[in-house]
Structure 1
Amino acid sequence: NGSGEAPIVMMSRLGNQLKRKLSSIGATHATAIYGETDEEIVVEVDSNKISSLGLTYGQISNALESFDNKRAAGVSSNQNSEFLIRLKDNTQSVQKISEIPIKVVNNSEIIQLQDIANISKKPLSPVEDIFLYNGKVVVSVAALGAMSQRVHDYVDRARLVVDDMRSSLPEEITIEEIYDESSYTTKKFNELIKSFSLAIFFVLSISLFFLGLRPAIIVTLILPFSVCLVMIGCRAIGLPLHQTSITGIIIALGLLIDNGIIVVEDYKHRRNIGLSIKDSISESVKHLIIPLTAATGTTVFAFLPIVTGEGPSIEFVGGLALTVIMSITSSLILAILLVPVLMSYMEKIPYFKDVDIHSEGYHNKKILDKYRSFGFLLFTTLPKDFFPAQDRDMFRINIELPSNASAEKTLERAKLIRNQVLQSGLIEVEKDYWFVGRRMPRVLMNIVGGKEKQGANNVAQSVFFAKDYYQMIDNLPELSKLIVDKNPDIIVIVDSFIAGPPVFSDVSYVIFGDDPFVLKQLGEKLELIINNAPDISLTKSETSNINTNIELELSNSNISLSGINPKNLVNELYAANNGVIVGTMLDSNKEIPIRLKGINKPDDILGSASYLTIPSQNGFEYIDSFGESRITNKSSIITRQDGQRMNSVEGWVWTGTLSSATEEYIKDDVEKFKNELPPGYSIKQLGEAETRGESQASLYSSAVIYMILIVIGLVLALNSFRQAGIILSVAILSIGLSFLGLFVGQQNYGFIGTIAAVGLIGLSINDSIIVLSHIKEEAEKKLISKAELIEVVIRSTRHIITTSLTTLGGFAPLIFASVFFRPLAWAMSIGVLGATMTALLYIPAMFIVLKKIKH
């Protein structure tokens, strides 16, 4: 707290102390600390002074190491005792180190270290890891809990540890919580509770209206029982409750009562035609067990590709499919075993006798008469993306300076861009933090890299937390262009966090070949093609990444004539610039390294390297006397794959636009570029397009196997290849219905949309199988007429519409609450409504054609 420079060394020590305490918490998977720095004793030597004395860095290093007396000098022992002999440490303090003798002149004068060097205790330099929180340099400690526990419990235990440490801190140091994953999990559970409440409301209201009070109570009871069975199933297979698995339960809420409604309606029909309670139960179960099992089986097989497919995308949404499968399986079991028992039990309650609205539901003769002649038509087209954005109030800004930039320079630019974001007024920011000098660690599940802090001093990546999610989504495209326009000299990417597996760039190609120069030229040409696309904000070619270096070209002749060992010359250069560790100093319980290095002038890096002095026969000479020094610019990256050189060319689109439109725009130019490649050179597409294609290919390849199983199951259940063909045609139509849902909801077609299309195949078949089974049952008794067939369909209409509306009620919360699963909710909601029309109109019509019914 307060103004002035942050005591980063003290905070680093406290941070490591907190890290150790968090590591001791049970079920801690990993801990990390960001922005820390260590101390060191820096011995900055004046090269001119040591050269005039005929000293080298190597000699000074040997002198310091010889006086570091931390080793035992032996053991003194007799028959009764044993004593360890130790020398008193000569490096107990900076003062002691500065008094170490380096050279004796004229057998009487002692040159001490402080005569030729400045000795001080400093933080490590150069700084390579900086953590910026709300504009202040701080130290961040992160703890990651293991998967086999509740995140809320782990966070509570971690907070107890932090509170205990907070009480012992000095006033100028505070601990503040900056990120808590459990808050988002709580939000998701709250959505589940709200969705569950809405589902019960929709189910009870719709069932009461269409079926009556008694059936409404029974089918509503299925919801809590089914969810409990799903929880038991998750526990049994070790599936944790996270975003996708919880969403699977939310999706399944509307599907859970479908089987129950069908059993209730069939039971009511058989009671109405005069069968006893026992016979009604027996006939209903006997008639429905096969079609309901077949319908549930098709839904299970439709979702199984999402479980058994391979790749990160399938892995990401596998929990959703598992919970949906367990939900509909549990609903089948409850519908067959529990619903008939409850119906027979409730018939014995006097209140439900002789009340038509309670037993029959809504009835309107005028609507019934008009319903006998109704039809429909559907069609649509859509844009494409991969995964939707995360439904979190977070966005990120990544910046990259020229490769030679230091972490301090990167920090200056990060602070400038942070102020630009705050002053823009486009998005109200609650808090933000920056990782400077390193790439972002795993803040979210699909963030990769950033585990090590070295090698990225020119990079800073940040997370901003917005106060208003919808304001953030609306204004992020404008903010992105504003920040890029204000910082044209560096690479800036402003974007929301996407869901799904990691994608490193929107558009990406890799060129393979042997000649680095040709690869560079081809990369620049391809980069120009990508850059011409209208929505491209940034392009980058890997071989165009240039590093500026100081290159010393030493003359072998000059070195030989001087009598200097070339290896010693290189060692002197390294010691003067980077420095060498020559010992340690104990400070309390911490061992601080002692680094020997030269005094470098910050405003003259080239001069510091080239004018380093070396003792010689004639006194001393400059390094520059042995050769020439110059500034060089060379490509800093040489990447190979399978032994072949490659050049990656990447592009990023503006926030709020789709990379699929860019890919389509440059498709012809890229194809022309590919055809004009020199012999021995090839190109491969990566980026979002490749990841999207691989994910969908994996899903569809698995789906083919389960479609075959669906066909086999339908043939066995219906005992007819032609009737199975009718049901399969419904599956094909359902894919178009999912596209219609995306179009109506103005959603993009991506991997989540693909999941909706595959899942809708199973759902759409359900209603059609039930209607077809009712028609078949009547047709097997006698030669059915069109009028009789229509009456069967009308009897099926009540529970088909009820199941569709309750399913729609289950998806409704996702449409309004979940950005991530909104495409799936729209596709399946409209798809289910379309599947209802298909079951009630298309199936009877096809049966008439199949059986050639004329009257």
Structure 2
Amino acid sequence: MKISEFSVRNYQFTIIIFVMLMALGISSLLTMPRGEDPTFKSPTFPIIVLYPGTAPNDMEELVVDPIEEAITELDNVKTIESTIDDGLAVIRVEFVYSEDPDEKYDEVLREMNNLRGTGTLPADLLSLEVLEFTPDDVNILQAALVSETASYWQLQQQAEDLQDQLEKVRSLNNVETWAYPDRQIRIALDLEKMAQQRLPLNQVLGAVQASNVNIPGGSVDMGTKKYNIKTTQAYESLDEIRRTVVASSGQQVLYLKDIATVDFDYEDETYRGRLNGQRAVFVTASQKPGYNIFDTRDQYETVLGSFKAQLPPNIQFEKSFDQADSVGRRLSGFSRDFMIAIGLVLLTLLPLGLRASFVVMIAIPLCLAIGLSLLDFMGYSINQLSIVGLVVALGLLVDDSIVVVENIARFLREGYSRSQAAIKGTQQIGLAVVGCTAVLILAFLPLAFLPEGAGDFIRSLPVAVIATVVASLFVALTIVPFLASRFLKEGEGPEGNRVLRGLHRVIDRTYGPILHRALARPFMTLSIALALFVGSLALIPLVGTSVFPTSDKPMFLITAELPLGSNLDATDSVARFIERGLQDEPLIRNYATNVGKGNPRIYYNVVQRNEATNYSEVFVQLDAGLHVPEIKAVVDRLRERYTNYPGAKIEVKQFEQGPPVEAPVAIRVFGDNLDSLRALSFRVERLLKETPGTIYTNNPLTTLSTDVQVRVNKEKAGLLGIPVADINRTVRLGIAGIPVGTVQETEGDEFTMVATLPRTGRPRLDALEHLYVSAPTGALVPLKQLATWELTTSPTMIKHYDQERFVTLTSHVQSGYLTSDVTADVISKLDQMPFPEGYRYQAAGEVETSQDSFGGLGPIVIITIFSIIAILVLEFKTFKSTLIVLSVIPLGVIGAILALLFTGYTFSFTAVIGLIALVGIEIKNSILLVDFTNQLRVEGMELNRAIEQAGEVRFVPILLTTLTAIGGLIPLALEASPLYSPLAWVIIGGLLSSLLLTRVVTPVLYKLLPPQVAVQEASTVS
């Protein structure tokens, strides 16, 4: 390893490199963007089609089928999922994850424009819109303007004022306001006065629309100048609307104010918001990619401070959610864990002596600095997963330095000078260190190349480990030899310091005799190891498996869903019941209630629920600093409180990690006939409810919507000369109102004009009894003489999955049950259920997510395994040595499984990551042992003596590297985080079992399968 000799002899150059790398790392630390979660993009696009008055069957035939056929012609479409309702269709198109979202969005948009341009879709579609799904649009701020006395107009004006100010913050994006009805201009027509003046409805509406125009008159020349001609402008005030001429007799003008009341009003409420039970309007904002969330907070806090100062006394400002606080707490916790880990690592270095420990400790910040610089160069941010990667790397990055320093110190004890010891010690172990690091990097590579959203979500963790480990190799072979040649003490006794001497005595009295006996009984030793491994595999069903764990954030959602057709007031009463229950929980910090819509998006894999009068959602935040068991206890108490509420389904849901999933347990049932599909869904629903461990089972086909059907007697209407369209228009006038244009006041505010009949509050069914239709003569005809009405069940909602009709039934999993076990139980029961011909089921939920997340991992793992084998063969030149090194893997699995079993964690996504990392660490330690045994045999030592001496000499560096890795991971393990604690426990348990078993099993295998070595004729054992 000439590089070490160069660094030792050219110390000025080495010092310059050291300072430059530290400066680069500090610069990256200060400038890298910070956020809570990794960001990723998905090529998924919802297509929203509005075609009012069209039944689901017609929507399916006229709109959805043509769109689906066109989309399937595009390249790399993964799934097409459509939801078809009365007058509304939502087609969700998902492409293969590797596709560029921007390019695919353009393709979908172009295809929709082609469909409309060629007349394939109905010409009178109200709207067709293609949306983009961007996970970056998660709101980092949700604020509330709270008041029980201020009008909605006052709240709206203040909210829009705050919106305008926040939009000036360069790093913020998508600043929006929520939870208030828009102000509008209501033109309440008096039908009796219209009848007295013999004014048909169409004439009045036409007069209003004709007066609200702004047609430029062009320009004229006068002399050398040009003048623009201004004609009558559009409405700018209520008084102008009131003075609209609706009729004239030649001597008298009839104004709109003579037959109608024109004033400001509010549209019908569809979304109500409250904060901690008080009426509120929400303002939210997300952050643009690539910005530091703390810099962003500093900017918007300045805006919020000045905004609060100018609020009227009857409106209070509350910042209900601030992601920067959560990120700050998490980074602060990681910083604490980091310092604890460094302290534990320092304790494990005491056997090396203070000077050697100092050399290794200098390597830690330098490796981290280089790792951060590499992360910054590759475009990653500082988030919870990249930090976990750095903490995991903390226990690994010192391994190379420990091994090199320990070997240099051994040469010093044998009488070499500091420079000679640094060069020879590094050269002797350099190749093994390179091989160890290469194997460790290859162990993490499959995680860095995971496909789909799961790969993007987790990628910053393995990349952080790889970057830091690469840095540690560079530092171990350059900076550490230089520092050792300057700081290590010469002339130290051959047995080292007091701690090291004591450690060697313990090894001689314990490990030495055990190894000697194991070598004397090799087959019994291997049989015991094999029995332990097989026994641990039998424990896997007890441990259980899962994909992504629940979030450890102290917040959750409570949703309430009433039967279809429930109005907003009924839904609001259920939301009030939920709020009363939350007031009794002392650990709750605040809660935001959303009636008629989901809470604005505040979590990366949860999309806001669309407006629905039968739906409400409460976003609950607990006190900061609560651990997962405390959060689960609150959730379980609330679940018990809200179970079996009459007439509504109330669900308390924790956030989940990983890509979006509809529910942990989800079953798709496919079939063509809607009635048969609905009947089959009831059977599957019953099966889900009867399966132990399920909770919140949902079947979207349980209830059907009930509507009021107005049936016009066309013969009577024809005799009176009243068009059916006029009757329909009158019904809309009396119930919802008819938009007749917009008005922009001189102050800039824009309002919709709506023509209605006089009414207060929401219209009720008896409103139809009091409606009158205007005949062409101006006479009024009661609606009940022209039409009848009755309650009818609306057609079933239709859903497509890849152009097949289907329904999805979902369930969540109770605390104390494993999703994998519950899903397996459900699938086994479904396999025994007879399905009619042409009908089938498909498991979705976590099963499908697991297949997507790990489906592309197989080829990557195979390539990685062969790459590791290739590196080992290149290093050792024999397959026997390679086999001996790889034999350590099962021994680490024993401790990993036991650690998960004792701590109660499952084999989750991150636990599997820990297992892969464990393999790399184990192989790394085994390489050191086998390589040194080979060296001793090359120098002429007898087989058994070489095995025992290599085991004892290499036990100290392997013990130290194992303890440093464990010390670095203990804080993560004790955090009790469902995301990264399983990873830490897997590595800790695996390293402990590997330390105890591998140090015996590997030498025994070496004895049974001794590799061929070229013995030197003259040798001295180092």
Same fold (TM over 0.5): yes
Question: Corresponding residue for 1:345?
Answer: 486
Q: 1:251 aligns with which of 389, 392, 412?
A: 392
1:411 and 2:572 are equivalent in the alignment: yes
Letter of the structure 1 residue corresponding to residue 793 of structure 2? N
Q: Secondary structure at the match of 2:862?
A: helix
Q: Secondary structure at the match of 2:832?
A: helix
1:653 and 2:797 are equivalent in the alignment: no
Once the two structures are superposed, residues 204-230 of structure 1 have per-residue CA deviations (whole angstroms, 9 ceiling, x without a partner) of 21111x322222111122111111111
Once the two structures are superposed, residues 254-286 of structure 1 have per-residue CA deviations (whole angstroms, 9 ceiling, x without a partner) of 111111111122223333344454543344333
1:65 and 2:209 are equivalent in the alignment: yes
1:189 and 2:331 are equivalent in the alignment: yes
Letter of the structure 1 residue corresponding to residue 449 of structure 2? T
1:204-603 equivalent positions in 2, closer than 5 A:
204-208=346-350, 210-347=351-488, 356-357=496-497, 360=500, 362-363=502-503, 365=505, 368-374=508-514, 377=532, 379=536, 380-381=539-540, 382-423=543-584, 425=585, 427-450=586-609, 455-467=611-623, 469-470=626-627, 471-485=630-644, 487-587=645-745, 588-599=747-758
Q: Secondary structure at the match of 1:362?
A: helix
Question: Corresponding residue for 1:644?
Answer: 804
Once the two structures are superposed, residues 149-196 of structure 1 have per-residue CA deviations (whole angstroms, 9 ceiling, x without a partner) of 211011101111222333333333343322221222222222232223
Q: 1:411 to 1:130 in 2, by over 3 A?
A: same
Q: Give the whole-Å Cα distance in 2 for the aligned partners of 1:303 and 1:442.
A: 33
Question: Corresponding residue for 2:341?
Answer: 199
Q: Secondary structure at the match of 2:906?
A: coil
Q: Give the whole-Å Cα distance in 2 for the aligned partners of 1:785 and 1:719.
A: 18
Q: 2:789 aligns with which of 623, 626, 629?
A: 629
Question: Corresponding residue for 2:9?
Answer: none
Q: 1:617 to 1:369 in 2, by over 3 A?
A: closer
Question: Corresponding residue for 2:903?
Answer: 745
1:159-178 equivalent positions in 2, closer than 5 A:
159-178=301-320
Q: 1:461 to 1:772 in 2, by over 3 A?
A: same
1:7-26 equivalent positions in 2, closer than 5 A:
7-26=151-170
Q: Give the whole-Å Cα distance in 2 for the aligned partners of 1:400 and 1:276.
A: 78
Q: Give the whole-Å Cα distance in 1 for the aligned partners of 2:462 and 2:487.
A: 35
Q: Secondary structure at the match of 1:747?
A: coil
Distance apart, 1:133 and its partner CA? 1.4
Alpha carbons 1:131, 1:435 under 8 Å: kept = yes
Distance apart, 1:29 and its partner CA? 3.2
Q: Secondary structure at the match of 2:318?
A: coil
Q: Secondary structure at the match of 1:645?
A: strand
Alpha carbons 1:206, 1:805 under 8 Å: kept = yes
Q: 1:31 to 1:623 in 2, by over 3 A?
A: same
Distance apart, 1:838 and its partner CA? 3.9
Q: Secondary structure at the match of 2:296?
A: helix
Q: Secondary structure at the match of 2:917?
A: helix
Question: Corresponding residue for 1:663?
Answer: 823
Deviates more, 1:90-99 or 1:384-393: 90-99
Q: 2:265 aligns with which of 102, 109, 122?
A: 122
Distance apart, 1:47 and its partner CA? 4.5
> TM-score, length-normalised on structure 1?
0.92
Distance apart, 1:773 and its partner CA? 0.9
Q: Give the whole-Å Cα distance in 1 for the aligned partners of 2:775 and 2:178.
A: 46
Q: 1:257 to 1:554 in 2, by over 3 A?
A: same
Alpha carbons 2:345, 2:967 under 8 Å: kept = yes
Distance apart, 1:446 and its partner CA? 1.9
> TM-score, length-normalised on structure 2?
0.77
Alpha carbons 2:187, 2:261 under 8 Å: kept = yes
Q: 1:40 to 1:145 in 2, by over 3 A?
A: same
Q: Secondary structure at the match of 2:831?
A: helix
Once the two structures are superposed, residues 807-826 of structure 1 have per-residue CA deviations (whole angstroms, 9 ceiling, x without a partner) of 11100111122512111111
Once the two structures are superposed, residues 565-594 of structure 1 have per-residue CA deviations (whole angstroms, 9 ceiling, x without a partner) of 233333333333322222444442212222
Question: Corresponding residue for 1:807?
Answer: 965
Distance apart, 1:526 and its partner CA? 0.6
Q: Give the whole-Å Cα distance in 1 for the aligned partners of 2:176 and 2:218.
A: 41
Alpha carbons 1:69, 1:87 under 8 Å: kept = no
Q: Give the whole-Å Cα distance in 1 for the aligned partners of 2:296 and 2:664.
A: 36
Structure 1: which 5+ runs fail to align?
none
Alpha carbons 1:151, 1:182 under 8 Å: kept = yes
Once the two structures are superposed, residues 14-35 of structure 1 have per-residue CA deviations (whole angstroms, 9 ceiling, x without a partner) of 2222222222222333322222
Q: Secondary structure at the match of 2:602?
A: coil
Aligned residues between the structures: 841
Q: Secondary structure at the match of 2:408?
A: helix
Distance apart, 1:840 and its partner CA? 1.0
Q: 1:6 to 1:661 in 2, by over 3 A?
A: farther
Q: 1:128 to 1:510 in 2, by over 3 A?
A: same
Q: Give the whole-Å Cα distance in 2 for the aligned partners of 1:789 and 1:655.
A: 51
Q: Give the whole-Å Cα distance in 1 for the aligned partners of 2:551 and 2:270.
A: 31
Q: 1:355 to 1:667 in 2, by over 3 A?
A: closer
1:772 and 2:930 are equivalent in the alignment: yes
Question: Corresponding residue for 1:38?
Answer: 182
Letter of the structure 2 residue corresponding to residue 410 of structure 1? T
Alpha carbons 1:404, 1:548 under 8 Å: kept = yes
Alpha carbons 2:726, 2:773 under 8 Å: kept = no
Once the two structures are superposed, residues 329-386 of structure 1 have per-residue CA deviations (whole angstroms, 9 ceiling, x without a partner) of 1111111112222222124679x78994269453363652232244764523212233
Q: 1:585 to 1:216 in 2, by over 3 A?
A: same
Letter of the structure 1 residue corresponding to residue 565 of structure 2? N
Deviates more, 1:712-721 or 1:170-179: 170-179
Question: Corresponding residue for 1:830?
Answer: 989
Question: Corresponding residue for 1:851?
Answer: 1010
Q: Secondary structure at the match of 1:179?
A: strand
Alpha carbons 2:146, 2:317 under 8 Å: kept = no
Distance apart, 1:81 and its partner CA? 5.7
1:150 and 2:292 are equivalent in the alignment: yes
Once the two structures are superposed, residues 404-429 of structure 1 have per-residue CA deviations (whole angstroms, 9 ceiling, x without a partner) of 23444433322321111213x3x521
Q: Give the whole-Å Cα distance in 2 for the aligned partners of 1:458 and 1:45.
A: 31
1:689 and 2:847 are equivalent in the alignment: yes
Distance apart, 1:790 and its partner CA? 1.3
Letter of the structure 1 residue corresponding to residue 881 of structure 2? Q
Q: Give the whole-Å Cα distance in 1 for the aligned partners of 2:1011 and 2:449.
A: 42
Letter of the structure 1 residue corresponding to residue 171 of structure 2? A
Deviates more, 1:706-715 or 1:65-74: 65-74
Alpha carbons 1:431, 1:466 under 8 Å: kept = yes
Q: What's the C-alpha RMSD, in Å, of the aligned pairs?
A: 2.9
Q: Give the whole-Å Cα distance in 2 for the aligned partners of 1:756 and 1:237.
A: 23
Q: Give the whole-Å Cα distance in 1 for the aligned partners of 2:446 and 2:990.
A: 19
Q: 1:52 to 1:577 in 2, by over 3 A?
A: farther
Alpha carbons 2:200, 2:775 under 8 Å: kept = no
Q: Give the whole-Å Cα distance in 2 for the aligned partners of 1:602 and 1:419.
A: 26
Q: Give the whole-Å Cα distance in 1 for the aligned partners of 2:301 and 2:838.
A: 60
Distance apart, 1:116 and its partner CA? 4.0
Distance apart, 1:689 and its partner CA? 2.3
Distance apart, 1:761 and its partner CA? 1.4
Deviates more, 1:149-158 or 1:633-642: 633-642
